[in-house]
Amino acid sequence: FQIDAEPAELREKYGRNTFGQSCLLARRLVEAGTRCVSVYNGGWDTHQNNFSDLKNTLLPPWDQGLAALIADLHDRGLLENTIVWCTGEFGRTPKINDMGAGRDHWARAMSMVYAGCGIRGGNIIGETDKTASEPTTDPYSPDDAAASFYHALGIDPHREYHTRDGRPVMIVQNGTPITELWS
């Protein structure tokens, strides 16, 4: 947890903000052998001031911290065995609301970022119509996204596990890995 042990130049590369330094800490934890790290970056509920909040507050540290994390994992030879998955729980409305230039919750289309574990970079999968309202290709489900995550880690997403008392537990019930991530 001693990120101050990192060179100042590297800390600057990640960004001297909570998200950037959290990404640096995540890299340190992965490098130390931690098997699962979650970095929370809240505050994306832009029901008002969507464009100014994205431009001035949310996207700059996210872009900088995520890019530095992926590059640093790659440079250290850790990206091939580490998956980076960035997601929220839904998309944002294509239409700007009347409550202050915001965007509301939208379940029909959203974006995610995957990197590492052999995933081909620069790959865009899926399309929406011209207003980003509806998918124009076969949509992927949250279960498909989760199945892809587990598949990348070498875990069979369809395997049935059992609790100590024998109760069956499925990691992902209906999802299928998104094979285009690796092609």
Per-residue pLDDT of the chain (183 residues; tens, 9 = 90+): 999 999 999 999 999 999 999 999 999 999 999 999 999 999 999 999 999 999 999 999 999 999 999 999 999 999 999 999 999 989 999 999 998 899 999 999 999 999 999 999 999 999 999 999 999 998 999 999 999 999 999 999 999 999 999 999 999 999 999 999 998
Query: What gap in Å lies between CA 91 and CA 111, rounded to an integer?
Result: 7
Question: Alpha helices, DSSP H only, in 32-140?
Answer: 50-53, 59-75
DSSP state of 135: B
Predicted confidence at residue 14, as pLDDT, reads: 98
Give strand pairing partners of 169.
161
Could you tell me if 47 and 100 are in contact, meaning their C-beta atoms sit under 8 angstroms apart? Answer: yes
